Amino acid sequence: MHLAEIIGLLGPPPLDLVKQGNPVSPFFDAAGNYIGTRPIPNESLADRVRICKMIHDEQLNEGDFRDFVDHMLTWWPGNRSSAHTLLKHPFLRSAREAYKTEKRERR
């Protein structure tokens, strides 16, 4: 179960979201506190983004990448951006341009 990881990245889910489960999720108490057996990692989404930047690409635009991820990872499904919207995000547009440039330079 990856719930503990998700809570580590996003913070705890809103209580009204937890209470929508029927019965209420076995992973939360009545107050919405996580009671699962797996520990919640002490690493935020911002921490993970910084690590990705260090490992994968020093040219990664951290602000655009974080904004892109924030539009996908939210507790409320209705607040998530659609795939169509995400395809137009500045992060993906700049990644596509970088890929095209690199491909041209290899020729």
Residues 27 and 38 in one domain: yes
Asked whether residue 60 falls in the same domain as residue 103, the answer is: yes
Domain identity same for 38 and 50: no
pLDDT tops 80 at residue 76: yes
Same-domain status, 36 and 49? no
Q: Find, among 1, 11, 3, 2, the residue nearest to 74 by Cα.
A: 11
Find the domain containing 6 and state its range: 1-43
Question: Are residues 53 and 2 part of one domain?
Answer: no
Same structural domain, 57 and 31 = no
Number of domains in the chain: 2
> Is 0.85 topped by the overall pTM?
no
Nearest to 49 by CA among 33, 38, 37, 60: 60
pLDDT in tens, 14-35: 998 888 876 667 889 888 899 9
